[in-house]
Structure 1
């Protein structure tokens, strides 16, 4: 049967993000300078180092004859598709990035993008979180996305404020102990 009549996915037109979080519609792609630098370094490494190395391996493997059972060729082509997908994703995110330096944030008495906020929950447990871009978020390292429920609840709050927000464990109340911009 002609491929035009069959709905098959041959890998073309797939979402470039893979498992990466999507930006909410009509929002800006805020990033800290550190996050932007990390993403730019990954992009440049893929373009200047990793992709050329894989292209060289695939070219060498293709010259060895039968490609149907050539592991270097098959794996190389698969890896090349993964690299190209990641390069497209990084390129789109870098092009749409709005870099916000927390050290130059105005209104530092309130919580805004880039703030590091120390909070205390109702059990007396303290934790610190930095509000960062969605591509930089890593809760285990204390970096939460600006679109997360906690970050949205913290926005515009001040030291000493009690903030309520909906967490996966239910409604929570926290107190803001300190706000820093680093």
Structure 2
């Protein structure tokens, strides 16, 4: 059928779903157990949301289902590529994926504590930074007492590792 005979209202809307947090091409999708649990919980919430759609219009329901399915597709891809890192198997005296690192930053007296986690789990308000972030990258493989330097535009920021642990 020619497109000239199709009603405008019959056109299926393509759902616009924002991409998940960027994971550069070729980079392994590392996750902690907490991160994997959060991904699986997010998946269950989307499935529940789809099952409980109570829209009156069949068109509205179809659009909503398409939107949720698009989100699920992105999420399922992230879950299927996830490589779970067991924290108890990480070297206890080195900063690696999953480590909680207590830092002295520059001349600040207050110590900061961050965990190095996967891209989906990262949340600075919870003290969780992505393993692909510049700070995580300069800290990786360091030991207690060592310093890491982050080169910024106007200064170098020095991070001294005060403590490393892998507890939840």
TM-score normalised to structure 1 length: 0.77
What residue is the counterpart of 2:96 in the other structure?
Answer: 112
- Kindly state the Cα deviation for residue 123 of structure 1 after the two structures are TM-superposed: 2.3
| Residue from 80, 85, 106 that aligns with 2:70 | 85
Structure 1 gap segments, 5+ residues each: 4-9, 63-72
What residue is the counterpart of 1:6 in the other structure?
Answer: none
- More displaced 10-residue stretch of structure 1: 136-145 or 121-130: 121-130
- Is 1:137 the counterpart of 2:128? The answer is no
Contact 1:149 1:167 survives alignment (8 Å): no
What residue is the counterpart of 1:179 in the other structure?
Answer: 164
Runs of 4+ in 1 over 6 A off after TM superposition: none
Question: How many residues get paired?
Answer: 157
Contact 1:149 1:166 survives alignment (8 Å): no
- Kindly state the Cα deviation for residue 171 of structure 1 after the two structures are TM-superposed: 2.5
RMSD over aligned Cα, in angstroms? 2.3
Aligned-partner Cα distance in 2 for 1:115–1:77: 44
What residue is the counterpart of 1:61 in the other structure?
Answer: 57
> What is the 5 A alignment of 1:22-171?
22-47=22-47, 49-54=48-53, 57-58=54-55, 60-62=56-58, 73-74=59-60, 76-105=61-90, 107-124=91-108, 125-167=110-152, 170-171=155-156
Structure 2 gap segments, 5+ residues each: 5-12
What residue is the counterpart of 1:70 in the other structure?
Answer: none
- Kindly state the Cα deviation for residue 160 of structure 1 after the two structures are TM-superposed: 0.4
Aligned-partner Cα distance in 1 for 2:156–2:29: 28
